[in-house]
Amino acid sequence: MTDVGPSNDKTKATGTVCSRMNVLADARELAAEGPVCDACLGRAFADRSHGLTNAERGRSLRIAAALADDDPYESTDPAECWVCEGLCDEFDAWAERCAEAVDGVEFDTYQVGTRTPPLLDENERLLREAAGLDPDAGEAFNSEFNREVGKRIGPRTDTTVDFGRPDVQFTLDIDADAVEVDVHSAFVYGRYRKLERDIPQTEWPCNACDGSGYVGSQSCEKCGGTGYLYEDSVEELTAPIVRDVMDGTDATFHGAGREDVDARMLGTGRPFVIEVFEPRRRRVDTRRLTGDIDAFAEGRVEVDNLGLATYDAVERVKGLDASKRYRAEVAFGEPIDEDDFAAAVAALNGATVEQYTPQRVDHRRANLTRTREVYEATGELVDPRHATVEIHGAGGLYIKELVSGDEGRTNPSLAGLLGVDAEVTALDVVGVYGEDESFEDEAYFREESTGDDDTDEPEAEATGDGADAADD
C-alpha cells in the first residue's frame, strides 16, 4: 500500500500558504485603491479570523503585507478614507448621541439599526470590484456600524443588547445625521374583579353618533353627548393609572375574553394585560400600582396578581384555551318541583351541549352550531319559581342560553329539561382558569410580581380547568 500521508500534508501546507498569499494580495489590491481606513480594509475580510474588529483585521493585514514586502508600514486616517468618509471613526460619537437621546428613559435592553447612505453602499461595491472581489465579500458596512456603535451604548446606559424584542430600538440615519429612538411598549399582567354590573370591559362607543357625541350639529341624545354608552369600563378604571405611573403616551387593555356587561367578574378574577406605549418608566412597584388602581376605581373594580410582563403575554392572555365558572340566579315561568329541578341539573352535569349562535349575538357572530362541554353543574332551588345554579364549562359556552334554551337553539338546556320558561336574572363569573396550563407562567414575566406573594393561578374546582375568548 502506498503511503500518501506526507503528500497530503504537503498539499495542505501549500494550500494554506497560497490562501494566505491570496489574502495579502487582495489586501494590497484594496489598499491601492486610494486612502482606505483599517476598518474598511478589514471589513472585506470579516469572515476570517474571528475575535478581531474590522479595524484590527485591516491593521494586521497592512502590517503583514509590509513585513512580506519589506516596505514601511503606513496607516490611513479614517477621515481621509474615501469609502466610509470618516464614519468608522465616529462610533463613539454616535453611541454618545444614542445615550443622550434616551436620557431619562428606563430600559434594560436595546438594539441598533443603521440606514446606510446609498453613496457609501456604492463605494463599498466599487472597492471590492476594483480588487476583483465578490461585491458581497466580508461584511456590509451597516452590520459593522450596528455592532460597533451598539457595543458602546451598553456601558454608557448600563443596559444590554437584545436581538429579539428589546425595550429600545435605535435607528442611526446617517444621511439625515439623526438618531431615531423607538421606545417599545411595556406590559403589566394581572387579574381584575368587576364588582358592579353594567360596566363593559373596554370603552363602548355610542353607535348612534359613532363615538363623536354629536348627531349632526346636535348633542347625541342616546349617549348624552359623551360618545360612549357607558360612563365607565374596566379599561378606563385601570389602564390610565398604569399609563401615568409608567409615564407612557397611551395604553391599551387586553383581556382573556370578556364577561357580559350586566355580569360581575368575581372570584379568581379575569386575566388581563395592559400595554403601555412609549413608557419612560419600566421598573415600577406593582404592589403600589395595585393600590393606586383600586383607589381610583373606588370599589367598582379591583386588581391583584400584578406583575411586569413580556410582549408575548398579550398573545398568551388572548389565545390560551380556558374555561369559566358561573353563578346564575334563575327565574322560572311557572312553579317547578324540587325533584324535577335536581334531575334537570344532574342531566346538565357533564353534558355535551350543542348551541346554535344565540339570537342576542347573531349580529356579530357567524351562524353555526358549536359543541361545548359542561364540566360541572350544581344548583339550589330557592323557591318554586327561583333558583341559583353554578356551572363550570368550556370556553365559549353561552350560559344564559344554557338556562333559557334560546327558543330551541341550545340543547340540552335547563328550560328544555324542565319544560318551562327559564331566564337568568343575574349572572356572575366566579372563576377563569387555563384549560391545560396556568395563565401565570413565569416565562411570561419580566420579573416576579411585587404586588402579591401568591401569583399562582387559582385551581378549578372541577375537571376541565380553564377562561374563554368569547363573550360569556
Nearest to 287 by CA among 309, 303, 311: 303
Give the residue carrying C-alpha cell 388572548: 318
Q: How far apart are CA 430 and CA 410, in angstroms?
A: 23
Radius of gyration of the chain (CA): 34
Are 158 and 108 within 8 A, CB to CB?
no
- With H, G, I as helix, E, B as strand and everything else as coil, classify residue 154: helix
- From the candidates 26, 38, 167, 260, give the one annotated as an active-site residue: 260
3 state DSSP class of 61: helix
CA atoms of 240 and 248, how far apart (whole Å): 9
Q: Distances from the Cα of 148 to the Cαs of 40, 95, 127, 177, 376, in angstroms?
A: 13, 9, 21, 17, 61
Q: How close are the terminal C-alpha atoms of the chain, in Å?
A: 83
- DSSP E strand boundaries for 164-249: 168-173, 178-183, 186-194, 214-215, 218-219
DSSP 8-state code for residue 258: B
Cell numbers 502506498 correspond to 2
Catalytic, 340? Answer no
Cα gap 306→447, rounded to integer Å: 11
Q: Enumerate the active-site residues.
A: 260
